[in-house]
Amino acid sequence: MEIGKLPNELLESLVLNSIKNKRKDVITRGAVGEDCAVVDFGKYACVLSTDPITGAAKNIGKLAIHISANDIASNGAEPIGILLTILAPPDTKEEEIKEIMKDATDVANELNIEIIGGHTEITSAVNKVVINSTAIGKQLKEKVLDARKVKEGYKVILTKKIAIEGTSIIAHDLEERLKKDIDDELINEAKTLIEDISVVKEGMIAGEIGVDYMHDITEGGLFGAIHEASSAINKGIRIYKDKIKLEKSTEVICDKLNIDPYRLIASGSLIIITEDKNADLLLDKFKKESIEANIIGEVINSGVFMDQEKINPPESDELYKVVK
């Protein structure tokens, strides 16, 4: 099988369809295009998400917190706590564990999240450090998003530029290789993009305004996320290439490595789907908060397109073509 997330078709047939027991107190359960599970806790809903960090070699403590916090925020909820599981190979040094935890706690402090537990183990079952983070958030039950409310004509909003996480990972992990063709200034700019991968602020703003659907762009990049969003809302989506922005460093690095930025892991960008009046209100609020965002498409009856060209379902993320 290919490295990376299971293709959506296999995810449904091998994993999701195997889950038979359904409880009434589960509001939102595992599905393609859903970032979180949501459980009814009375007045509030408990919002949960779990993710591993497997594609990056550096900054994994920082990434582990951001990625899971982003998922909670993509539900419009406030992230409260995170459980971290660290699996490290036998040749791991104490300093490496210490650095991972320093990076994780720095980000957690910045986002006002507590690392509330987890597990740390040295094991020969892995050949590099793997972190899995499980985030817990809370949200008024009346504010829980409902993808079923999305209608044709609703606007698709994208925050920031795409592929910033993938660009940063590649710049950190393949720096020496890139220096042969790309100047140091551009590589350093790409490395700093890791500071922009949080979508907690925009997710909380959108949740407060009351949008219908949000999706954090991760493995599979923008094209993968659009397919997943289409599945979640059970409708089609058309996006427009001239509305989608790339960092200069992303363009240069992807060109040099011959990878597709539209299919490159892209935490830091958030897809938001909402009706016209909320779209205008949201963009105005984002502008006041200095959050880059614009309308890149709309909901249609069926199919997933960029302009008039059909977008194929996601395969293995472009990151795995260059980072082993």
The backbone torsions φ and ψ at residue 158, rounded to the nearest 5 degrees and listed phi first, read: -120, 130
- Give the pLDDT score at 323: 81
In a shared domain, residues 113 and 135: yes
In a shared domain, residues 137 and 153: no
In a shared domain, residues 36 and 58: yes
Q: What percent of the chain is predicted at pLDDT more than 90? A: 76
Residues 208-225 have pLDDT tens digits of 888 999 999 998 999 999
In a domain, 209, yes or no: yes
pLDDT surpasses 80 at 56: no
In a shared domain, residues 270 and 166: yes
Q: How confident is the model at residue 238 (pLDDT cuts 50, 70, 90)?
A: very high
Question: Residue 292 sits in which domain range?
Answer: 147-322
* Dist. CA 103–CA 60, nearest whole Å: 8
Q: What is the strand order of the sheet 155-159 is part of?
A: 213-216, 270-274, 155-159, 293-300, 236-239, 304-306, 309-310
In a domain, 179, yes or no: yes
* Contacting residues for 182 by C-beta, under 8 A, at least 6 apart: 252, 253, 256
In a shared domain, residues 32 and 125: yes
How many domains, the chain?
Answer: 2
Which pTM was predicted? 0.89
